[in-house]
């Protein structure tokens, strides 16, 4: 559901839904493309099942490590992923954003995959989960930065898809 509190971004890729699902749900693929442009993922553990987690380290271009965690709330293959996302420590404990202390501790991301004529539209709906008013405001105020971050992430995904033989 789209509200003023929801960040939404979509991109259509020249690849079948089955491939998009695979690169979104398998550790080896996620480590190659997920994250803002210029970031790498040197470490990741994936337990892909409802209630499972994806714990990963993103390394910034200047060498700083930031940890993140997804908890899978719902998985509808190959149509939808629903995850609670948070910053974390290397053991998976929830932490605050390293550069924004009022960033929400948890967000809900719902990613859908819709195929039409061999092309797949990936749509991310992202909102604060169990947050305070201040966390909701910080999230809303930072949507331009989220737009840039997700645009870069989708650019990395597009480049990765070209390497694995799509589009």
Beta carbons of 138 and 100 less than 8 angstroms apart:
yes
* Calpha distance 50→75 (Å, rounded): 6
The answer to whether 57 touches 69, Cβ cutoff 8 Å, is no
Average confidence (pLDDT) over 132-136: 95
Residue 89 lies in a domain: yes
pLDDT (tens digit, 9 = 90+) per residue, 152-166? 999 999 999 999 976
| Residue 1 falls inside a structural domain | no
1 confidence band (pLDDT: 50, 70, 90): very low
Give the range of the structural domain holding residue 43, as residue numbers without chain letter: 7-163
Q: Which residues pair with 120 in a beta bridge?
A: 13, 115
63 part of a folded domain: yes
Per-residue model confidence as pLDDT tens digits over 36-70: 888 999 999 999 999 999 999 999 999 999 999 99
pLDDT for the residue numbered 104: 96
Give the count of domains, the chain: 1
Element of type H or E holding 115: strand 107-116
What is the C-alpha radius of gyration for the chain, rounded to an integer number of angstroms? Answer: 15
| pLDDT computed for residue 4 by the predictor | 59
pTM of full prediction above 0.85: yes
Q: Helices (H) and strands (E) in the chain — how many of each? A: 4, 8
């Amino acid at each position: 559901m789209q509200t003023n509190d929801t960040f939404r971004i979509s991109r259509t890729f020249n690849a079948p839904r089955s491939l998009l699902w695979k690169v979104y749900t398998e550790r080896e693929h996620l480590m190659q493309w997920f994250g803002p442009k210029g970031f790498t993922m040197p470490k990741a553990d994936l337990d892909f099942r409802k209630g499972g987690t994806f714990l990963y380290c993103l390394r910034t271009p200047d060498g700083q490590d930031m940890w993140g965690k997804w908890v899978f709330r719902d998985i509808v293959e190959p149509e939808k992923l629903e995850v609670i996302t948070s910053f974390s420590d290397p053991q998976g404990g929830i932490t605050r954003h390293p550069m924004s202390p009022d960033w929400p501790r948890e967000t809900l991301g719902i990613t859908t995959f819709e195929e039409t004529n061999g092309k797949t539209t990936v749509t991310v709906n992202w909102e604060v989960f169990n947050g305070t008013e201040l966390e909701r405001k910080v999230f809303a105020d930072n949507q331009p930065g989220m737009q840039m971050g997700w645009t870069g992430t989708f650019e990395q995904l597009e480049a990765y898809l070209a390497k694995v033989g799509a589009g």
